[in-house]
Amino acid sequence: MERPRHQGMAKNTYMRWRLPLVCLLWEVAMIVLFGVFVRFSPEADAHWEEEKREMNLTSDIENDFYFRYPSFQDVHVMIFVGFGFLMTFLKRYGFGAVGFNFLLAAFGIQWALLMQGWFHSFKSGKILIGVENLINADFCVGSVCIAFGAILGKTSPIQLLVMTLFQVTLFAVNEYILLNLLHVKDAGGSMTIHTFGAYFGLTVTRILYRPNLEQCKDKQGSVYHSDLFAMIGTLYLWMYWPSFNSAISDHGDAQHRAAINTYCSLAACVLTTMAFSSMLQKKGKLDMVHIQNATLAGGVAVGTSAEMMLTPYGSLIVGFICGIVSTVGYVYLTPFLESRLHIQDTCGIHNLHAMPGLIGGIVGAITAAAATEDVYGKEGFIKAFDFTGAYQTRTPSVQGGFQAAGIVVSLLIAFAGGALVGAILKLPIWGDAAAENCFEDDIYWEVPEDEESDAYHMHNPDKPASP
């Protein structure tokens, strides 16, 4: 069981010039593009006083900032602490989980502001950004964080940055097709964020398949405290998900409703996750992996429909089902995907984002198709689905059809994009680690020589302590 790891490190994973080069060049590109294109939206511009008069607003509180900023901050926490810490469950990959998530998200939000800006906020040659753009950028990056979950521990930071660049681009294209061409509703992103992000990530990890990964099976597990760190991520995602699903909904009732629906769905999801976690295990004990992940499926699955009149009991039903589907997925499907389809899904994003995302898309299509003026009120009906202008004759059932089409488009772009990006990431120039060094921070990080680490080495006598 000899391991030529120092050789591998010296040869392949040396980041000293490659990572700085990518970071600096890309950041310079961002500055140039921002300089050319990005300006403040009227609500963030010093001309706001004039804007206010024009729009006939009587108070500063009508600024979109006050409608959305608290939700934005919650979403921000979900992306950086939520996703970051959720992935710290691995015993020796906490730095990579939090740190690389930090890196890719910080780059991704800038690129997303541009990509989404060109599609949605482009006016007379400039992208005008406000708080809603910040939320959308965070959303877009959320889909990258999801994909990161599939390849966690197996890629170099450069690969992650490359993936972010492409995935954000594809996300913006997919989002444009859905929201603008198909005129689909997807405020919480069941389709655009979760379905797209998860199947994209699963395709990438399939293409990056590593046959010898069982070599480091011992490092794929958690330790006691790493599971508690991961629970910080879980709980922040769980608590703030109502803000996520309501963050860019219409002002007023839509935001209010989206928060309530999500809250209900998530609550139900916890109960069925606990039930199936215990039931599917011989000893009847609860499994932290399920609690950390499947409890969140309810939030994913109402991403499309939360702002619709799903009703609280409808939300409970969705959450109920998703807790089951997700937990069953962790127990039976993840091992199957790995052994048969060679999809190595470190965090189980298939169970947390892919399946619940699909369910969310379908629930959204059904909820839209079932909408009536009776339930929504005449004005509410038009406002909820934005049946104005070119769409004023669209009926709920047609809308339902377009919603369903949105799922298909998201899947197609995810598979095609994931295949392309996977192929790019397979090039031998990005500095990824050898299979036996996966899930280990000390390839890319200065790791403190600590007692725990010594204890760890003690139990792995074949691995020499670092010099």
CA distance 439 to 98: 13
Closer residue to its own copies in complex, CB, 117/418: 117
Options 110, 143, 192, 410; binder of its own copies; rule CB under 8 A: 110
DSSP conformation class of 219: G
Q: Does 1 bind its own copies (CB under 8 A)?
A: no
Query: Considering only residues 207-246, where is the footprint of its own copies by CB under 8 A?
Result: 221-225, 227-229, 231-232, 235-236, 238-240, 242-243
- Report which residue type is found at 417: G
Contact of 250 with 263, CB cutoff 8 Å: no
Site for its own copies in 125-144 (CB under 8 A): 129-131, 134
239 vs 398, beta carbon nearer its own copies: 239
Task: For residue 328, state whether it binds its own copies (rule: CB under 8 A).
Answer: no
Q: Measured between alpha carbons, how far is 152 from 90 in angstroms, rounded to an integer?
A: 10
Would you count residue 332 as binding its own copies (CB under 8 A)?
A: no
Q: Are 286 and 294 in contact (CB under 8 A)?
A: no
Enclosing H/E stretch for 385: helix 378-385
Give CA–CA dist 247/72, Å, rounded. 7
Binding of residue 420 to its own copies (CB under 8 A): no
From candidates 7, 66, 342, 464, binder to its own copies by CB under 8 A: 66
- Least distance from its own copies to the Cβ atom of residue 71, Å: 8
How many binding residues for its own copies (CB under 8 A)?
A: 148
Closest CB to its own copies among residues 181, 279: 279
Per CB under 8 A, does 176 bind its own copies?
Answer: no
Question: What does DSSP assign to residue 60?
Answer: G
Exactly one of 7, 11, 54, 252 binds its own copies (CB under 8 A); that residue is 252
Q: Are 163 and 233 in contact (CB under 8 A)?
A: no
Which stretch in 40-48, 333-341, 358-366, 402-410 sits in contact with its own copies by CB under 8 A? 40-48
Classify residue 448 by burial, with Cβ atoms within 10 Å: 0-12, 13-18, 19+: exposed
Q: Does 335 bind its own copies (CB under 8 A)?
A: no
Estimate to the nearest angstrom the gap between the alpha carbon of 63 and the chain centroid. Answer: 28
For residues 422 and 210, give the distance between their C-alpha atoms in angstroms, rounded to a whole number: 13
The pair phi, psi for residue 91, each rounded to 5°, is -65, -35
- In the complex, what is the shortest distance from the CB of residue 203 to its own copies, in angstroms, rounded to a whole number? 27
Closest to its own copies by CB, 321 or 409: 321
- If one asks whether residue 54 binds its own copies (CB under 8 A), the answer comes out as no
Q: Is 450 in the site for its own copies (CB under 8 A)?
A: yes
Using CB under 8 A, pick the residue from 159, 190, 255, 304 that binds its own copies: 255
Instruction: Considering the complex, state which of residue 380 and residue 401 has its C-beta at the smaller distance from its own copies.
Output: 380
CB 86 within 8 A of CB 347: yes
Does residue 27 belong to the site contacting its own copies (CB under 8 A)? yes
Residue 124: CB partners within 8 Å, gap ≥ 6?
none
- If one asks whether residue 369 binds its own copies (CB under 8 A), the answer comes out as no
Our finding on whether 412 is near its own copies (CB under 8 A) is no
Do the strands 122-123 and 38-40 form a parallel or antiparallel pair, or are they unpaired? Answer: unpaired
Q: Which of 171, 200, 244, 320 touches its own copies (CB under 8 A)?
A: 320
Name the minimum Å distance from CB 391 to its own copies: 17
Residues 249 and 75: their CA atoms lie apart, in Å, by 14
Among 253, 390, 314, 175, smallest CA distance to 398 is for 390
* Shortest Å, Cβ 278 to its own copies: 5
461 binds its own copies per the rule CB under 8 A: no
What string marks each residue from 423 to 442 as x (binds its own copies by CB under 8 A) or -? -------------------x
Which residues lie closer than 8 Å to 295 by C-beta, 6 or more apart?
Answer: 234, 238, 266, 269, 270, 273, 323
> CA 281, 282, 288, 291: dihedral to nearest 10 degrees?
30
Min dist CB 28 to its own copies, Å, is 8
Q: Tell me how far, at minimum, the Cβ of 419 lies from its own copies, in Å.
A: 28
Are the C-beta atoms of 437 and 392 separated by less than 8 Å?
no
Strands 122-123 and 126-129: antiparallel
Q: Of 375, 412, 423, 465, which lies in the binding site for its own copies, with binding defined by CB under 8 A?
A: 375
386 binds its own copies (CB under 8 A): no
**Contact pattern from residue 147 through residue 166 relative to its own copies, giving x for each residue in contact according to CB under 8 A and a dash for the rest:** ----------x---------
